[in-house]
């Protein structure tokens, strides 16, 4: 029986020739056009209470190519166009499964420029990648090697708002294997003063990447604001300058989160976090910028898929659990604990708590209890009044 390996996407930058850039730009435009046409057709059918699936949109694509108005779709590889229809099918499946909203039309200026090629539309030999409709291989900057003997099953080419070109190769990675089991477990409390506070007492500083480049970003945005709407070349140049600053911030943030989450997964068998609703939390105008820069949702996503790779467990506890106000020593629950109070003394046992470390310890305790007793289980801790802490509806926990 053949062993199954984890599929990973290896992303690299590349420098296209003028001909390759023109071909890819045409492909991006055709992919966007086909996606929007198929979405419009499916939306109109939905209004008539009819259902259109992938096979029907594929037949529509064949018909569109035969028309004079859309004959230019024949000039690019057909595989990225078919993949666009498959992506639309997935978007509708997620919508009907209530996992996402209704699919949106792709914008020429705002949507991500990308095209996906399957094995029939590219050739990968001796470390050289050649796409369909291209005579020369891509000049890829191999910043890290692919797994030995790797054969890409899918190649995705994209261009970001800063004008950088990327190619992503989806390969099976036999090097990703479960790590040796360990008895270590850790609770994590996220925050803004410190990005993470662990139940071990360790506090991870918040790098605040956006704040470090805020002056540079503001200067670039002012220059963009001065450009007239019809000033095509100059406005596009100013827009790319803003995008480069955003890309610099995002790259540093992602690099930091990757290093941090990899360390946490390698060192701990069980990781307990809070099930925070970041989408709702960023509605707070005073904290939205800082919360977005902290990237808690991306942190959780990385922890979850890396834990799945390496045989670890991530437990998310109820977001309403009063982790900060509950004494981790005796279980007493405070009525109020304002956000500016960073240390407090328990009235029941007299223990002095660091707010964040205490929260991380409570998160770990309730997560391990839920793991043993089943999903949704919570420890029944006593309050000073003798009532169960979990029988009272806790107020919304502030970040």
* 275 counts as catalytic: no
If phi over 0 gives left and psi between -120 and 50 gives alpha, with beta otherwise, what is residue 193? alpha
Q: How far apart are CA 336 and CA 274, in angstroms?
A: 20
How far from chain centre, in Å, is Cα 365? 28
Contact 312, 181 (CB under 8 A): no
User: In terms of Cα–Cα distance, which of 292, 307, 99, 344 is closest to 188?
Assistant: 307
Give the containing element (helix H, strand E) for 203.
Answer: strand 203-205
Q: How far apart are CA 199 and CA 197, in angstroms?
A: 7
How far the first Cα of the chain sits from its last, in Å, is 49
Q: What is the CA radius of gyration of the chain?
A: 26
Q: How far apart are CA 149 and CA 291, in angstroms?
A: 42
**Alpha carbon separation from 325 to 65, 210, 340, 344, 349 (Å, rounded):** 64, 31, 13, 9, 14
Max Cα-Cα span within the chain:
82
Determine the 3-state secondary structure of 382 from DSSP: strand
User: In terms of Cα–Cα distance, which of 173, 129, 167, 117 is closest to 149?
Assistant: 173
Owner of token pair 């993470």: 196
Ordered DSSP codes for 6-27? EEEEEEEEE---HHHHHHHHHH
Owner of token pair 């090697």: 145
* 126 counts as catalytic: no
* 354 counts as catalytic: no
Catalytic option among 23, 116, 210, 274: 274
Count of helices and strands (H, E) across the chain: 10, 14
Catalytic option among 23, 210, 293, 356: 356
Contact 61, 82 (CB under 8 A): yes
If phi over 0 gives left and psi between -120 and 50 gives alpha, with beta otherwise, what is residue 251? alpha
Catalytic option among 116, 189, 293, 304: 189
> Which residues are catalytic, by number?
189, 274, 356
């Amino acid at each position: 029986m053949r062993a199954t390996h984890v599929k990973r996407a290896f992303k690299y930058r590349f420098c296209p020739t003028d001909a390759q850039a023109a071909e890819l730009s045409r492909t991006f435009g055709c992919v966007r056009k086909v996606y929007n046409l198929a979405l419009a057709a499916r939306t109109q059918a939905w209004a008539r209470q009819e259902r259109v699936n992938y096979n029907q949109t594929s037949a529509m694509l064949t018909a569109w190519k035969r028309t004079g108005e859309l004959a230019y779709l024949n000039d690019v590889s057909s595989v990225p166009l078919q993949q666009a229809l498959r992506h639309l099918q997935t978007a509708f499946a997620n919508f009907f499964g209530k996992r996402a909203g209704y699919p949106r039309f792709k914008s020429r200026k705002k949507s991500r420029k990308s095209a996906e090629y399957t094995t029939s539309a590219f050739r990968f030999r001796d470390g050289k990648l050649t796409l369909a409709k291209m005579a020369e291989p891509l000049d890829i900057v191999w910043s890290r090697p692919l797994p030995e003997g790797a054969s890409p099953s899918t190649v995705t080419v994209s261009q970001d708002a800063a004008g950088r070109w990327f190619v992503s190769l989806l390969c099976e990675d036999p090097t990703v294997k479960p790590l040796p089991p360990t008895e270590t477990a850790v609770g994590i409390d996220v925050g803004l003063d410190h990005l993470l506070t662990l139940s071990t007492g360790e506090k991870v500083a918040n790098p605040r990447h956006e704040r470090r480049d805020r002056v540079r970003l503001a200067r670039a945005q002012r220059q963009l604001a001065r450009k007239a709407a019809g000033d095509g070349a100059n406005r596009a140049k100013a827009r790319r300058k803003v995008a480069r600053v955003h890309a610099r911030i995002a790259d540093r943030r992602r690099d930091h989160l990757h290093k941090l989450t990899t360390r946490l997964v390698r060192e701990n068998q069980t990781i307990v976090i809070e099930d925070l609703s970041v989408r709702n939390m960023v509605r707070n105008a005073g904290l939205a910028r800082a919360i977005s820069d902290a990237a808690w949702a991306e942190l959780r996503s990385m922890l979850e898929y890396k834990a799945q790779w390496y045989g670890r467990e991530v437990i998310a506890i109820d977001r309403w659990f009063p982790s900060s106000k509950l004494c981790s020593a005796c279980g007493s629950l405070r009525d109020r604990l304002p956000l500016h109070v960073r240390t407090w003394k328990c009235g029941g046992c007299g223990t002095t708590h660091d707010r964040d470390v205490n929260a991380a310890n409570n998160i770990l305790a309730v997560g391990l209890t839920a793991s043993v007793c089943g999903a949704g289980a919570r420890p029944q801790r006593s309050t000073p009044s003798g009532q169960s802490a979990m029988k009272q509806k806790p107020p919304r926990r502030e970040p």
